[in-house]
Amino acid sequence: MTPTPASRPASGNSAVRARSRAKILSAAKRLFLEDGYDGVNLDRIAAEAGVARQTVYNRFGSKDAVFRAVMEDHWGSLDLETLPSRLTAGLEGTGDPAAFLRRLSTALIDFIDETGQIAFTRLVIAESRRAPWIADEFYRLGKEPLIRAFEACLRDLDAAGAIDCASPEVAAHQFLGLIQEFVLWPRVMAVPADRMDIPSTDTVIEEAITTFLSRYGTTDPDGGSPARPSA
C-alpha cells in the first residue's frame, strides 16, 4: 500500500530515531570496551555519538539502561529468533545432525570474530564483580536464548530419530563447551599463543561433532557405530 502523506512523516521519524539509536549504541559500546563501565557517562556517550546529551537521556534514561541496550544489541546480531530455521534450512528429513552442528559452530565462530565478543566478555567479567546484574543480563540476553534455541533443534533431531538425546539442554551445553574451550576462553584469558597448542578451527569443529555424535548419534540399521560426520 502506498503511504499517505500523513503517514510519511511518522515513518521518516521512525527511521531517524532508529539511526540515532544505532549511533548511540555503537558509540557507547566503543567507549565501554575502551574505558570500562565506570569510565563512561552520558556526556561522553553523547559526544562520541554526535548527539545531544538530552537525546541520550530521552532515549534511555540512565547509563545502566544504555549498557543493557548495548548488550541486547550485541547479542541481536546473532538473531537468535531465526537461528534454528537458518541452521536447519534444507536439512529437513535428511537426518544429518553433523551438518546442523557444523552450521551452528560456524555461526558461533563468525559471531565471536565479527562482534567483539572476546572484548565484550572480558568487560562483563570485569564489571560483574561490582555489578552482578551485568553478568545476569549478559546471560539472559544471549547465552540463555542461545541454549534454548540449540536445545529446541536437538529435541527436533531426537524426535526425528537423527540423534538419541534424552537431555537436550545438557547436550547443548556440552557441545558449546567443546567449541568454546578452544575458540573463546583462551582468547578471553589472553593466554599466549605459545602456551597452548590450539588446533585449527576446522579441526576443533570436526572433533567436537565426532565427540558429540559418539555420545548422541544413532546407530545404523545393522547396529553398527554411531553416525559420524561426513567429510
What is the CATH classification number for the domain harbouring 93? 1.10.357.10
Model confidence at 221: pLDDT above 90: no
Q: What is the mean pLDDT of residues 139-154?
A: 94
Q: Give the whole-angstrom CA distance, residue 186 versus residue 118.
A: 10
Judge whether 225 lies within some domain: no
Task: State the cell numbers at 23.
Answer: 549511533
Judge whether 31 lies within some domain: yes
Give the total number of structural domains in the chain.
Answer: 2
Looking at the fold, whether 113 and 201 belong to one and the same domain comes out as yes
pLDDT digit string, tens, across residues 177-212: 999 999 999 999 988 877 778 899 999 999 999 999
pLDDT at 219: 56
**Average predicted confidence (pLDDT) for the chain:** 88
Burial 126-139 (b: 16+ CB within 10 A, else e): ebbeeeeebeebbb
pLDDT at 196: 79
Judge whether 71 lies within some domain: no
Model confidence at 100: pLDDT above 50: yes
Model confidence at 223: pLDDT above 60: no
Q: Give the whole-angstrom CA distance, residue 171 versus residue 121.
A: 23
Model confidence at 227: pLDDT above 70: no
Domain that holds residue 191: 77-216
| 119 close to 30: Cβ distance less than 8 angstroms | no
What percentage of the chain reaches a pLDDT higher than 90?
72
The pLDDT confidence band at residue 231, using thresholds 50, 70 and 90, is very low
